[in-house]
């Protein structure tokens, strides 16, 4: 949860000036045990900043991240609950996320060494079992290899093995398949799905790919310019979007399903300058349904009849009743 007004800032360096952008502003959501939650939105909407601040890879200026009921933005709490073992990340680019000087076995074993878990023999056994569990079989054929000797899909399996070796409760999967060949994407996503079910891990998927999120997630949140604008069940948000921005995003996603009757919505204008945000709803300058009421103040999240929450005055009964028919 990141509070409004003094939230997570990104610093921009201009010609001798320093300006701040609220990369994530007033975003609040929860992820249940064993649940998969997706964050979607265009580049620059704040989804990756949000994900990284959950793992404390970025420090929010205010707000809190509660893990198992405890605020892990407090360094003492993080140390006490050994948060580094509880939360892991799978990065987008398997060509950059593995240290090229490590062999597969040593790269996967390193977290066990750092946290001094088990004896040398136990660590070796755990690494071999984990290599097997991510589908690199037989493990002996992979454990002595360097990353440069592996394909993109094999490298991502190594990254997944390293992420699960400490038996975390939470994983941030940041565009986990976007750098892979189409032919191996499905097998990596299936692997994540299977491991999540077997190990009961909560996963936060970050992706611009709505089809992937619909397939992988229980619920998703759509972000626009640092704000969550819609949250709901993954199927409902994509099959029946409520917020005008989600409708546009879903409408612009190609589909091969001949029965898909999604509405195509033309967006006007460009994304506003994040340093000079419009007043009221920040989507107003591009929204096909914008009206005077939209620029008065930032809309809250309202429940919709379809079951989602949407940050739009069209779902605020009080505002809707004042609009002339």
* Contact set with ligand SF4 (CB under 6 A): 243-244, 281, 283-284, 287, 289-290, 294, 299, 312-314
Nearer to ligand SF4, 203 or 281 (CB): 281
Question: Which of 191/312 has CB closer to ligand SF4?
Answer: 312
Residue 100 per-residue DSSP state: T
Q: Looking at beta carbons only, is 34 or 280 nearer to ligand SF4?
A: 280
Nearer to ligand SF4, 223 or 313 (CB): 313
- 180, burial (CB in 10 Å: exposed 0-12, middle 13-18, buried 19+): buried
Q: Give the torsion sign (CA, 25, 56, 46, 29).
A: negative
Closer residue to ligand SF4 (CB): 177 or 287: 287
- Greatest distance between any 2 Cα atoms in the chain: 75
Residue 301 phi, psi dihedral angles, 5° rounding: -85, 130
Smallest separation, CB 293 to ligand SF4 (Å) = 7
Task: Report the residue number, 111 or 244, with the smaller CB distance to ligand SF4.
Answer: 244
Cα separation, 309 vs 304, whole angstroms: 6
Give dist(CA 177, CA 26) in Å, integer: 29
* Tokens 């945000």 sit on residue: 277
User: In the bound complex, what is the minimum distance in angstroms from residue 290's beta carbon to ligand SF4?
Assistant: 4
Report which DSSP code applies to 28: -
Pairing state between β 36-40 and 219-224:
parallel
- Minimum distance from residue 28 beta carbon to ligand SF4 (Å): 19
Minimum distance of ligand SF4 from residue 301's CB (angstroms): 11
Write down the least CB distance from residue 244 to ligand SF4, Å: 4
- 189 or 314: CB nearest ligand SF4: 314
Q: Rounded CA gap, 176 and 160, in Å?
A: 9
CB 11 to ligand SF4: min, Å: 28
CB of 75 to ligand SF4, least distance (A): 38
Contact 171, 88 (CB under 8 A): yes
Q: Select from 258, 226, 261 the least CA-distant residue to 245.
A: 226
Distances (CA, A) of 225 to 175, 177, 188: 19, 24, 30
In the complex with ligand SF4, the residue whose CB is nearer, 259 or 292, is 292
Q: Is 171 exposed, middle or buried (0-12, 13-18, 19+ CB in 10 A)?
A: buried
Q: How far is the CB of 251 from ligand SF4 (least distance, A)?
A: 14
């Amino acid at each position: 949860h990141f509070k409004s007004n003094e939230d997570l800032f990104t610093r921009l360096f201009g010609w001798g000036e320093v300006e701040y952008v609220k990369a994530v502003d007033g975003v609040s959501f929860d992820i249940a045990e064993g649940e998969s939650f997706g964050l979607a939105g265009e580049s620059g909407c704040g989804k990756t900043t949000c994900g990284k601040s959950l793992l404390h890879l970025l420090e929010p200026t205010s707000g809190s991240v509660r893990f198992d009921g405890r605020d892990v933005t407090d360094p003492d709490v993080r140390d006490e609950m050994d948060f580094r073992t509880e939360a892991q990340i799978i990065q987008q680019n398997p060509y950059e996320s593995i240290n090229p000087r490590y062999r597969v076995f040593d790269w996967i074993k390193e977290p066990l060494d750092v946290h001094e878990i088990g004896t040398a023999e136990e660590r070796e056994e755990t690494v071999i079992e984990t290599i097997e569990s991510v589908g690199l079989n037989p493990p002996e054929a992979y454990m002595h290899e360097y990353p440069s000797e592996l394909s993109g899909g094999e490298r991502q399996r190594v990254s997944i093995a390293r992420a699960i070796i400490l038996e975390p409760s939470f994983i941030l999967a940041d565009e986990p398949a976007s750098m892979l060949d189409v032919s191996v994407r499905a097998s990596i996503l299936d692997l994540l799905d299977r491991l999540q079910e077997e190990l009961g891990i909560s996963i936060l998927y970050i992706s611009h790919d709505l089809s992937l999120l619909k397939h992988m997630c229980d619920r998703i949140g759509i972000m626009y310019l640092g704000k969550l604008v819609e949250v709901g069940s993954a199927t409902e948000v994509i099959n029946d979007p409520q917020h005008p921005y989600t409708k546009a995003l879903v409408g612009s996603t190609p589909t091969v399903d001949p029965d898909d009757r999604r509405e195509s919505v033309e967006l006007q204008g460009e994304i506003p300058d994040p340093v000079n945000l419009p007043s009221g709803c920040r989507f107003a300058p591009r929204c096909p349904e914008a009206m005077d009421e939209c620029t008065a103040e930032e809309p809250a999240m309202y429940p919709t009849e379809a079951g989602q929450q949407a940050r739009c005055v069209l779902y605020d009964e009080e505002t809707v009743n004042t609009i002339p028919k």
